[in-house]
Amino acid sequence: MKELKVGLLGIGTVGGGTYTVITRNQSEIARRIGGNIRIVQVADRNLELARQITGGQVNVTDDAFAVVNNPEVDVVVELIGGYTIAKELVLKAIANGKHVVTANKALLAVHGNEIFKAAAEKGVIVAFEAAVAGGIPIIKALREGLSANKIEWVAGIINGTTNFILTEMRDKGLAFADVLKEAQRLGYAEADPTFDVEGIDAAHKLTIMASIAFGTPMQFEQAYTEGITKLTSQDIRYAQELGYRIKLLGISKKTEAGVELRVHPTLIPEKRLIANVDGAMNAVVVKGDAVGPTLYYGAGAGAEPTASAVVADLVDIARLQGTSAEQRVAFLGYQLDQQQALPVLPIADVHSGYYLRLRASDKPGVMADVTKILADLKISIDAMLQKEPEEGEAEADIIILTHTTQEKIMDAAIAKIEALPAIDGALTKIRLETLSR
Amino acid sequence: MKELKVGLLGIGTVGGGTYTVITRNQSEIARRIGGNIRIVQVADRNLELARQITGGQVNVTDDAFAVVNNPEVDVVVELIGGYTIAKELVLKAIANGKHVVTANKALLAVHGNEIFKAAAEKGVIVAFEAAVAGGIPIIKALREGLSANKIEWVAGIINGTTNFILTEMRDKGLAFADVLKEAQRLGYAEADPTFDVEGIDAAHKLTIMASIAFGTPMQFEQAYTEGITKLTSQDIRYAQELGYRIKLLGISKKTEAGVELRVHPTLIPEKRLIANVDGAMNAVVVKGDAVGPTLYYGAGAGAEPTASAVVADLVDIARLQGTSAEQRVAFLGYQLDQQQALPVLPIADVHSGYYLRLRASDKPGVMADVTKILADLKISIDAMLQKEPEEGEAEADIIILTHTTQEKIMDAAIAKIEALPAIDGALTKIRLETLSR
């Protein structure tokens, strides 16, 4: 095997990790593939940092296009992030006949259809294991390990920042805003945390997994996204009293009517393995028709865990040099010409269980009114928790868990319940998934 | 891509599942690989069963060698099991230039070195995802997904029968023998359960994983194997009181002195995800130097879960037709000529934490004697549980959890403790792994 020559775009956290892992594990990697992976050029705006990390062993530049146009480079590793320049660089690398490895989920979720089409035309590989769930080889599991299956659904904790925040809220009973501040201080959350806490980052990753699972194009713009900013530690506690944990899940299911593609806080029974994935860790459950449920767990971010995925992609590419497109795994599991643009269900059409929290005056008849509204709409109750009014208060919290129903039916019920005179203010609604089938 | 023509040896549980999955998911598979996988011949001693399952769509024979010698067959799927005929058939298939897919862990753990050497000489693929942990794509994760890492250790619940038995013993407080009978009645355990309950099946699978993780040849004959037949529900309960679960773990670690390769009942902290893998499910934790700990969970046995792995191997082979050996993943992750026969540590040299249960007369000074013996040997105590003597008894159980020490030092301590006059009978020793580093 000839040596694989790598051009690295960006030598920040993940880029630095990639350099470290390739250097430190050079001999293991060589023993595996019978050849070498060598970084021949690094581009970073911070030339000083690039020189420091590479110790003068590698040509460094602040011009990313110099790497993409470098005839010596076989494969470009894009670790810059964002949609604009990253897209230009990736498309240019492809046009130059270079393979691409990227950790950029935003880029792929939004521009993946265009990028993979270009790569197919040039016969190059675009690999992206690091784009979803960091070091967990979930892309390989979905694309290859479970290729015998009709995938029925995918559900994952695919954002470490929010999982860290939810874990802290539960463990310490703190409010979202306080934990976020602490997370920012510790470096678990960015200064502008919007992408993480509003579920956008998770929706990018979910979009990619759904495409592979169901053979659809990327349909990010149709994903439903709801973050964790409105979650209260009270709801987390009530959920726990009922035997559930609240996680920010990315869920994609194939149904008769289309594909569900949704990110939102979700109650999960505490006995499910994924309910016990805490801190910044990630996990994805994949349900296949033959294999049943399988789960993949590990670090979803960080320098070396993410580099582990980047370098695994490089190892694959090193090995696949000289192969034809049909000898390689299709970019997104299914052949591009076999993709089907299944409709993405609006959230109103999705089926889910629900956690409802309402505040009601402590009078006889309230529960009868509420349960009648639910019964009339054929929403069946799974569990109920009625708290005593606090000292000196006339109202108390009532928590209801429902079995599966359609979101629009639940919303109709909620509107009717909120209109009851004994009900104070808006209901809190959180979706619930048993992940049992 | 040309059609991949499959010859199936054995159409029992897994063979039947394989037939079903290929047939049912034909169109998904074709959309993935851009070609077809077709079973062209089936061999089974039970011709009637073979005809019934295949519905007259496929040539059936009771002569397995007819399949192996069939010039139309591209790949032989060996689902017969055992060492003798299976080995002959696999070697003959290889000699005939056919690729092989097998679920036979015993065959690979014992004769793998010879089989892979033969396959390398003929330039054919021998794939075996189904041989370890059923439907969990753990071979792919180890060989490819984590290829950037130095693997530090692997620890897995890789035998569903024993995990089912241990789960029942814990949940119902029953004795091993009673649960085994129930498991046999339900079909979770074989009439002769020796391979499962004595840890031999797990050692086969561990041998294969260790070879991939550390780049060693198969060294099954040097694996340490201890089953679950002597475990009591009392120990399971005591462990639980101390915050641990007992699982039959296959553990392989790379150390300075060599490789640990051992299967035995193991205490694991209950907060570890793998401690919560119950029933017949399997899970494997892999610790890589870059990625950290990752976990893979799913069904470790059963018709369709195992078929999921068999068919995934067929999908890989369909795609890889026409590639050279260097364009394919090495059979065992590392190139065969790069394997290193690292010494397997005798169990006396292994380092582990320990659970000790002793029965002592309820007299002052006993604990001082015991703890002095441990202290003299520099064994530090992590936790201790002293039970009150039962009504009318003069002796009580004492449980000690120790930090990591070497097995031979622990055995020396145990011999000294057993020699104390106040100690009644033999100590119970169970190894303990925190799986934290």
Sequential DSSP letters for B102-163:
E--HHHHHHHHHHHHHHHHHHT--EE-GGGSSTTS-HHHIIIIITTTSPEEEEEEE--HHHH
Considering only CB atoms, which chain B residues are within 8 Å of A277? 273
Yes or no, beta carbons of A290 and B135 under 8 Å apart? yes
Yes or no, beta carbons of B308 and A148 under 8 Å apart? yes
pLDDT surpassing 70 at residue A334? yes
pLDDT surpassing 80 at residue B84? yes
Measured CA to CA, the distance from residue B214 to residue B273 in angstroms comes to 24
Considering only CB atoms, which chain A residues are within 8 Å of B30? 338
Yes or no, beta carbons of B32 and A150 under 8 Å apart? no
Residue of A nearest to B139 (CA): A145
What pLDDT, on the 0 to 100 scale, is given for residue B392? 86
Considering only CB atoms, which chain B residues are within 8 Å of A341? none
Residue of B nearest to A304 (CA): B290
What pLDDT, on the 0 to 100 scale, is given for residue B10? 97
The amino acid occupying position A418 is E
Q: Which pLDDT band, with edges at 50, 70 and 90, does B93 fall under?
A: very high
Measured CA to CA, the distance from residue A310 to residue A328 in angstroms comes to 18
Q: Looking at CA atoms only, how far is residue B79 from chain A in angstroms?
A: 17
Q: Which of A331, A329, A303 is nearest to A22 (CA)?
A: A303
Structure tokens at B346: 């005798």
Considering only CB atoms, which chain A residues are within 8 Å of B314? 148
Structure tokens at A330: 């299709």
Domain A351-432 grouped into CATH 3.30.70.260: yes
A254 catalytic? Reply is no
Measured CA to CA, the distance from residue A28 to residue B340 in angstroms comes to 12
Percent with pLDDT over 70 in chain B: 100
Yes or no, beta carbons of B32 and A289 under 8 Å apart? no
Yes or no, beta carbons of A288 and B276 under 8 Å apart? no
Measured CA to CA, the distance from residue B97 to residue B124 in angstroms comes to 6
Under a CB-based contact definition with an 8 Å cutoff, are residues B218 and B256 in contact? no
User: What is the arithmetic mean of pLDDT over A61-79?
Assistant: 98
Quick one: CATH architecture of A141-299? 2-Layer Sandwich (3.30)
What pLDDT, on the 0 to 100 scale, is given for residue A187? 86
Under a CB-based contact definition with an 8 Å cutoff, are residues B46 and B63 in contact? no
Q: Which of A135, A310, A346, A323 is nearest to A221 (CA)?
A: A346
What pLDDT, on the 0 to 100 scale, is given for residue B271? 95
At the topology level, CATH places domain A4-137+303-338 in: Rossmann fold (3.40.50)
Q: Looking at CA atoms only, how far is residue A146 from chain B in angstroms?
A: 6
User: ipTM score here?
Assistant: 0.97
For B223, phi then psi, to 5°, come to -70, 145
Measured CA to CA, the distance from residue A251 to residue B421 in angstroms comes to 62
Please name every residue paired with A5 in a beta bridge, in sequence order, or none if there are none: A38
Average pLDDT, chain A: 96
What pLDDT, on the 0 to 100 scale, is given for residue A258? 97
Annotated domain spans of chain A = 4-137+303-338, 141-299, 351-432
Of the two residues A387 and A157, the one the predictor is more confident about is A157
What pLDDT, on the 0 to 100 scale, is given for residue B342? 97
Measured CA to CA, the distance from residue B271 to residue B273 in angstroms comes to 6
User: What is the arithmetic mean of pLDDT over B65-83?
Assistant: 97
Residues belonging to chain A: 437
Residue of A nearest to B289 (CA): A304
DSSP three-state, residue B424:
coil
Residues belonging to chain B: 437
Considering only CB atoms, which chain A residues are within 8 Å of B308? 146, 148-149, 288, 290-291
- Across the interface, of A140, A293, A322, the residue whose CB is closest to B145 is A140
Over residues B382-431, the pLDDT tens digits come to 999 998 888 888 899 999 999 999 999 999 999 999 999 999 989 999 99
Quick one: CATH architecture of B348-432? 2-Layer Sandwich (3.30)
DSSP three-state, residue B435:
coil
Residue of B nearest to A334 (CA): B32
What pLDDT, on the 0 to 100 scale, is given for residue A1? 64
pLDDT surpassing 70 at residue B144? yes
Helices B366-376 and B407-418, packing angle to 10 deg: 150
Q: What is the CATH number of domain B4-136+303-338?
A: 3.40.50.720
Please give the DSSP secondary-structure letter assigned to residue A354. E
Structure tokens at A156: 């994952």
Measured CA to CA, the distance from residue B141 to residue A59 in angstroms comes to 33
Mark B355-369 as b/e (b = at least 16 C-beta within 10 Å): bbbbbbeeeeebeee
Q: How many CA atoms lie within 13 A of B279 on its CB side?
A: 10
Considering only CB atoms, which chain A residues are within 8 Å of B312? 144-148
Yes or no, beta carbons of B321 and A327 under 8 Å apart? yes
Yes or no, beta carbons of B144 and A140 under 8 Å apart? yes
Active site residues of B: 205
Given A105, A140, A205, A287, which residue is catalytic? Answer: A205
Please name every residue paired with A384 in a beta bridge, in sequence order, or none if there are none: A400
Yes or no, beta carbons of A24 and B320 under 8 Å apart? no
Q: Which of B211, B216, B275, B215 is nearest to B242 (CA)?
A: B275
Q: Looking at CA atoms only, how far is residue A181 from chain B in angstroms?
A: 27
Residue of A nearest to B315 (CA): A147
Percent with pLDDT over 90 in chain B: 93
- Across the interface, of A1, A140, A310, the residue whose CB is closest to B140 is A140
Q: Is the dihedral of CA B14, B15, B18, B19 positive or negative?
A: negative
Q: Which pLDDT band, with edges at 50, 70 and 90, does A436 fall under?
A: confident
- Across the interface, of A215, A312, A322, the residue whose CB is closest to B144 is A312
Under a CB-based contact definition with an 8 Å cutoff, are residues B172 and B307 in contact? no
Over residues A254-296, the pLDDT tens digits come to 999 999 999 999 999 999 999 999 999 999 999 999 999 999 9
Under a CB-based contact definition with an 8 Å cutoff, are residues B211 and B342 in contact? no
pLDDT surpassing 70 at residue B20? yes
Considering only CB atoms, which chain B residues are within 8 Å of A3? none
Yes or no, beta carbons of B146 and A137 under 8 Å apart? yes
Of the two residues A392 and B105, the one the predictor is more confident about is B105
The amino acid occupying position A349 is D
What pLDDT, on the 0 to 100 scale, is given for residue A306? 98
Yes or no, beta carbons of B29 and A288 under 8 Å apart? no
Considering only CB atoms, which chain A residues are within 8 Å of B150? 25, 28
User: What is the arithmetic mean of pLDDT over B332-359?
Assistant: 97
Q: Which of A225, A22, A228, A220 is nearest to A104 (CA)?
A: A220
Yes or no, beta carbons of A307 and B315 under 8 Å apart? no
DSSP three-state, residue B54:
helix
Options 3.30.360.10, 3.40.50.2300, 1.10.287.70, 3.10.129.10; CATH of B138-299? 3.30.360.10
Mutate to test the interface with B, among A2, A144, A311, A435 (most CBs of B within 10 A): A144
Structure tokens at B46: 């039970």
Residue partners of A274: CB distance under 8 A and separation at least 6: A155, A156, A157, A247, A268, A283, A285, A295, A435
